Structure 1
């Protein structure tokens, strides 16, 4: 033990590693102190008290050395922390960017805000009445086949909304006229994922109801919107179409900005891209929502934000928007 005492006195413990090595060697479960106490069984009974006192003194000596070195090590660490210069500049952080869908959504809303449209929002999980029946799509109506749907509960029916038209019906039910709203949001349809389609996407729908609203008002609103978004030189055409919630109905095409009208897979090699559907609100829809169709008329329109973004940024695959590839997302500011 005298040899161990001299060894401990001569030790210089500076680093945390040296401190831990000392603890293991002398105070650990298989350390020297533990080993010396194990020798008590070999000491004659008449000398056990004397030997025990010597062992306890040695143990206290070894523990005191450890505690002193531990305090010094902590003090050195605190001193090192205090020596850090907090005025030095930190590591540079890379600035993120907004998602292209959000950028396009904001541009669309800004244009319609200038025309007096207010933003309205509604639930993504919807009942059958607000998503279908109130929009002149009663149960078993063949037009429901146009929207293959994700049902989450049936009898009564609850589903992931297939369009943001549910927001329009909820606003009409409030009975506060006139109505001039724009309804952005995410919608869901059970479609095969491809360069042109996905099982979820984002829409912006608009609704204007007042006295003496005409199809001419609708056309001029959409002409203004397209020219503000795509420029004065974009070509526009309206095609007659069918939607159960509007009559008459039309689809609006613009010249393809990706191929310049020469034809590509986005425009199906026609030179034209459909960007929205529109029409005059069906009188049945007005009546379902408690609005007098003899006094009020209105128009509605809806567009997919992904389709608009593909044209604005000349992107030929819709799936890029949802793959979260930072190499793609970093291109937008």
Structure 2
């Protein structure tokens, strides 16, 4: 921002006005006192409907260009945060495998927009895409503006679960407030909600928070992966472990009209397959094969980044936090 230059121009203008007033003071009536418009008690939305369309279209154009070129360079022009890490990893795998089907389809047409009413930065807005085609469910995209002079960039995306119902949001013309990560107006603060979910994801029924959370598709998928891996390693007396860790700086929350909040956060994941010496653990998916690019050994380590969207009810509600969608992307594969 050019605040210093603006301040200097403002000061110079004020000085000129003051000098003129002194010269005319002896022969003119008092100048009228300015009556500025009152500052609204509730801030308005950060974006107009037209601007939300422009943001999704412009971000979509950058994504399309990167996908077409199969090159992540230039993505950071309109992609940031977890989304940049995830998309860059997908492009790397797609290039090595020569397969663009390894890229998650991210439509730029929205069926619903959620606009924040934040007076500071960063600012967050959400978009629910139309169906991605071929039976693919809609995505929930989060955009972020880091500063007043920065463009909105894609910050994260999740795949919404089948049959999921999003909580109610204010119309874009009204806007939705950003929720502090330590808010005590919710059943759980956004920070605590995300930390608890990661604990449940890691420990399952052994987590002290397990009974406080409804089951969800992402946890079911990880449980299925555990069962599959354990069965495959039984014959060689191998082991399988998985651990997720929240990325503390990557949590955002926006208010819903029922007093709750939609929380979106990122977590790293580490999946490790281990077998005795002499055994070989081969990558299973095209993405795993592309990112490993080495001969198999008796171990396999899969590193990933996951984004998760959670609805947290208001304080005092007789309900549980609900996971609405998730996306896990492999970022690195080693022996």
Q: Same fold (TM over 0.5)?
A: no
TM-score range, shorter chain: under 0.3
Structure with greater strand percent: 2
Bigger CA radius of gyration: 1
